[in-house]
Structure 1
Amino acid sequence: MATVTAAERRAEAKRAYDAYVAACPSRKLLDTLSDKWVSLVLNALADGSKRYSDLARTIAGVSQKMLTQTLRGLERDGLVTRTVTAAVPVRVDYRLTSLGESLLPLMAAIKQWAESHIEDVEAARLRYDADSENSP
């Protein structure tokens, strides 16, 4: 049996979490975080706990199916917690976990950047589309 040095073990561990490798777990997490509904749900929960209906009203255009799938995925990843309160009707609240809260500065910065730069991006798209139409 070959002996593996500590440096080799560290190098192997580093390769195991290389997001450029298709099977890397961190890449799968990046795929999740880049979903538009995930970013919108995380930002919507930044101010605290919300009911499902509050989230649905806040996030325009999200279908019931997509919101449910997104919340379940975030709960599975440990970013959101779901609390059911026995009442008539049953009350279900969602809130960020401490892990989810640790993402807020990043998600808020991306949201703010998008809102601040959308005019520049739209202008670039128009230029690109015009150039593409005029190219052979």
Structure 2
Amino acid sequence: MNDPLQAVTRAPQWPYGAEARDPELDELVREIIGRIADKWTMLVIEALAEHGCLRFTQLTAKVGGVSQKMLTKTVRQMEADGLLVRTVYPQVPPKVEYRLTEMGMSLGEAFCGVWLWAERHRQSIEAARQAYQAQAAASGGSGNADAAAARLSGTLPVHSH
């Protein structure tokens, strides 16, 4: 297994060079990353991708651990972003169903890469976390964790004080 804390010197290959960057696209990407970094959005996408159309209570159960207020906020933002469709049926009591749009489904498919990456690198991630915690503890606790991480990465020399 490779050293999980070994630094690499090559940069990832982005689709466009620095000279072709579009500031508006950069901002949109930051917004989308912020949205999917919210765990509820990805869990809603996962639930709807797996189960298709769900009512609010079903969605709450499938997501698990989310408050009604947070789920409402999440699905409203996802609807505003075009990731899901909310259908209200005119009946008593009201019936509301949620389903992913093509765009929402494609975001879920794109995010599958993160799951695959995590699965592929699980042992390395766990080893890196253990090494980081051990070095932080040896350096006097969490207050020196950044210095410990820098020493582990080889960017800061080890000094005794």
User: The TM-score by the shorter chain falls in which range?
Assistant: 0.7 to 0.9
Structure 2, unpaired ranges of 5+: 1-17, 141-161
- Identity of matched residues, %: 43
By how many angstroms is 1:36 displaced?
0.9
**1:39-78 correspondence to structure 2 within 5 Å:** 39-47=42-50, 48-78=52-82
Instruction: Measure the CA separation in 2 of the matches of 1:111 and 1:40.
Output: 12
Code of the aligned partner of 2:109? P
Highest RCO, 1 vs 2 (Cα 8 Å, sep ≥ 6)? 2
By how many angstroms is 1:26 displaced?
2.7
Work out whether residues 85 and 101 of structure 2, in 8 Å CA contact, stay in contact via their aligned partners in 1.
yes
How many residues are aligned here?
Answer: 122
Residue 121 of structure 1 is matched in structure 2 by 125
By how many angstroms is 1:118 displaced?
4.8
Instruction: Measure the CA separation in 2 of the matches of 1:119 and 1:13.
Output: 37
SS in 2 for 1:58: helix
**1:1-136 correspondence to structure 2 within 5 Å:** 14-19=21-26, 24-47=27-50, 48-114=52-118, 118=122, 120-136=124-140
SS in 1 for 2:97: strand
Taking structure 1 as the reference length, the TM-score comes to: 0.75
CA-atom RMSD in angstroms: 2.5
Taking structure 2 as the reference length, the TM-score comes to: 0.65
User: Which protein has the larger Cα radius of gyration, Structure 1 or Structure 2?
Assistant: 2
